[in-house]
Chains A and B, each alone.
Chain A
Amino acid sequence: GQNIDQPTEMTATEGAIVQINCTYQTSGFNGLFWYQQHAGEAPTFLSYNVLDGLEEKGRFSSFLSRSKGYSYLLLKELQMKDSASYLCAVEGYQKVTFGIGTKLQVIP
């Protein structure tokens, strides 16, 4: 099975940079997703990492280390609208398992 661990809550200041970590133990690993979920809404796709390294997409970047079972999501130039939950999701054998999500609050 899969076990995914990420911090429950984080707070950061508008304009700053924040890093949300995710560690996982899995019996099979194909890749790792990050999704954003605003309160009461559906998750929306942010990134998908298969290989080790950093993938940059605008203000958001995602990093993966397969050997360490570790990923992080980096958000730069934080905006108030970035206040949301960020879900780490691991793709194993034909199944994606979601973490509980990190609730990020951006403050002025």
Chain B
Amino acid sequence: DAMVIQNPRYQVTQFGKPVTLSCSQTLNHNVMYWYQQKSSQAPKLLFHYYDKDFNNEADTPDNFQSRRPNTSFCFLDIRSPGLGDAAMYLCATSRDISGDTQYFGPGTRLTVL
């Protein structure tokens, strides 16, 4: 089945130790998104790619970076995780940037020790 896959589902890292979360999609969608969701809060958009064009949200900390080497894969790099970065990280895709449903992956729950 076509889907959005995130690995790993659970990630534990140490304070300040870089970590990379991965997302892949078989939907061949143009747009890929990364959201951060903390407990009982709304998903917060960090950035998105439209094809190779990167769009960073104004309030996304510099500590968060992203790479999209090809249509199928997108990575979230957290350069120096702090305790406040512990959250669920959701990857989503959509065919286009406007008027299209976003399909979410299962998420990666990040714990920072």
| A contact residues vs B (CB 8 Å cutoff) | 4, 30-31, 33, 40-45, 48, 50, 87, 91, 94-101, 103
**Which of A42, A95, A98 is the most central at the interface, judged by chain B CB atoms within 10 Å of its CB?**
A42
Are A44 and B97 touching (Cβ within 8 A)? no
**Which of A40, A43, A44 is the most central at the interface, judged by chain B CB atoms within 10 Å of its CB?**
A43
Chain A residues with Cβ under 8 A from B97's Cβ?
94
User: B43 is contacted by which of A43, A44, A95 (Cβ under 8 Å)?
Assistant: A43
Q: What's the dominant secondary structure at chain B's contact region?
A: loop
- With A98-B42, A98-B43, A99-B42 as known contacts, state yes or no: A45 contacts B98, CB within 8 Å: no
**Bound state CA distance, A68 and B54, in angstroms?**
34
User: A101 is contacted by which of B42, B45, B103 (Cβ under 8 Å)?
Assistant: B42
Residue B41 at the chain A interface, CB threshold 8 Å: yes
Are B41 and A31 touching (Cβ within 8 A)? no
**Bound state CA distance, A41 and B108, in angstroms?**
10
- Closest CB-CB distance, B48 to chain A, in whole Å? 8
Number of interface residues of B (CB under 8 A): 19
Are B99 and A45 touching (Cβ within 8 A)? no
Are A42 and B107 touching (Cβ within 8 A)? yes
**Bound state CA distance, A95 and B94, in angstroms?**
12
Are B42 and A91 touching (Cβ within 8 A)? no
Residue B110 at the chain A interface, CB threshold 8 Å: no
Are B45 and A96 touching (Cβ within 8 A)? yes
Interface string of B21-55 (1 = CB under 8 A from A): 00000000000000000001111110000000000
Are B104 and A30 touching (Cβ within 8 A)? no
Are B42 and A87 touching (Cβ within 8 A)? yes
Residue B20 at the chain A interface, CB threshold 8 Å: no
Are A30 and B98 touching (Cβ within 8 A)? yes
- With A42-B107, A98-B43 as known contacts, state yes or no: A50 contacts B101, CB within 8 Å: no
**Bound state CA distance, A91 and B45, in angstroms?**
12
**Bound state CA distance, A81 and B106, in angstroms?**
18
Are A42 and B90 touching (Cβ within 8 A)? yes
- With A33-B101, A43-B104 as known contacts, state yes or no: A95 contacts B42, CB within 8 Å: no
- Closest CB-CB distance, B8 to chain A, in whole Å? 15
